[in-house]
Amino acid sequence: MTAPFGIKEVREAYMRIQSWIHRTPVITSATLDELAGRKLFFKAENLQKTGSFKARGACNAVFLEKQHNPNSPGVVTHSSGNHGQALAYAAKCAGLPCSVVVPQGTPRVKCDAIQHYGADLVFCQPTPAARRETCGQIAAQTGRAVIHPYDNYSVMAGQGTIALELLEQVPDLDAILVPISGGGMTSGIAVTTHHMQPKCRVFAVEPFGKQLQQCLEKKQRLWPNPPQFLNTVADAIRTQQVGDLTFPILCEFAEPNVFTICDDQMVEGMKLAWERSKMVVEAASGAAVYAAVRCVANVVPDVERVGVILCGGNVDLDTLPWVKPDVSY
Ligand SMILES: Cc1ncc(COP(=O)(O)O)c(C=O)c1O
């Protein structure tokens, strides 16, 4: 199978979005290199517009929607926050109306940001089915185009621009570690890396309970249905199943080995990034930091130069995972 988008679409996406996004820096840390026993290169998408890499895919998809349909009534999506925030930003840049469906319990910082960009915020029950249904109803009522957070080739091509930049910024990477939820970012990065630097291996980093490795190894969707959210501190990567469109791309272009990280380890990864690199990252990024620093040496010891995607920095400062609630002040 060949991916329905390739380096051409990723390069076109980059031309389309580059004046609306940041070319994020790559951060290094001698201390973290020492702990990991190899060179680590942190791609700081926590510093991206809207606080996560999601601005890339959302801008590409929304700008294409406007290009193909100049009278578009707008866009709508369902998202645990970061894609919603990014879609609201992209729609504002394109001058299109936007609605965002989020599950109840989404961190306040993410809800505030979605509204700040001018989108309508719609709450629903925290189940994948409720999210899809509410989003579908809004699309039917308003005619707005549904921009899926990951199962959309324009979104995947937009996320691929992370690798386009990273592989230019750092030559000769052996591997890239990518926190995964629905798989849009990993698909985009894996396809781009395959074209630009085929020897560089792309590994997904998942929360405990996702069970992606056995699905990738067997190339079968072995997950229980209906789809579930995982109980993890990393609120951005709670979806257990990757997408129907992303799964075949992951089977073909990503490594079947997956790094599985539990909550305590993600928090340790977050703290390492905060303390050692002074980077405010959310738990999904912490998963990749932990995998790079503590796991790569055991799982793939031959890998020496590792790109680590700090995918987002949208943390709610009132509910940091290592702070016990204190009502005394
Ligand atoms: C911060 C962050 N990291 C990682 C991911 C996973 O991205 P994907 O769903 O494309 O796998 C998300 C998705 O929402 C995210 O917000």
User: For residue 296, is pLDDT > 80?
Assistant: yes
Residues 109 and 91 in one domain: yes
User: Is residue 324, in this structure, part of any structural domain at all?
Assistant: no
Share the mean pLDDT of the chain.
Answer: 95
237 CB near ligand 1 (under 6 Å) = yes
Q: Domain span at residue 69?
A: 54-146
Identify the pLDDT of residue 126. 84
In angstroms, what is the span from residue 100 Cα to ligand 1's centroid? 16
| Active site (catalytic) residues | 54, 80
User: For residue 163, is pLDDT > 90?
Assistant: yes
User: Is residue 45, in this structure, part of any structural domain at all?
Assistant: yes
Residues 14 and 83 in one domain: no
Dist CA 154 CA 131 (whole Å)? 21
Mean pLDDT of the 170-189 span? 97
Question: How does residue 107 score in pLDDT terms, banded at 50, 70 and 90?
Answer: confident
82 CB near ligand 1 (under 6 Å) = yes
52 CB near ligand 1 (under 6 Å) = yes
Instruction: Report pTM.
Output: 0.95
Identify the pLDDT of residue 182. 97
In angstroms, what is the span from residue 150 Cα to ligand 1's centroid? 8
312 CB near ligand 1 (under 6 Å) = yes
Residues 183 and 211 in one domain: yes
Write 118-124 long-range contacts (CB < 8 A, 24+). Answer: 118/88, 118/91, 118/92, 119/84, 119/87, 119/88, 119/91, 119/92, 121/84, 124/78
Residues 194 and 308 in one domain: yes
Instruction: For 32-60, write each residue's pLDDT tens digit.
Output: 999 999 999 999 999 999 999 999 999 99
Is the CB of residue 186 less than 8 Å from the CB of residue 204? yes
In angstroms, what is the span from residue 185 Cα to ligand 1's centroid? 7
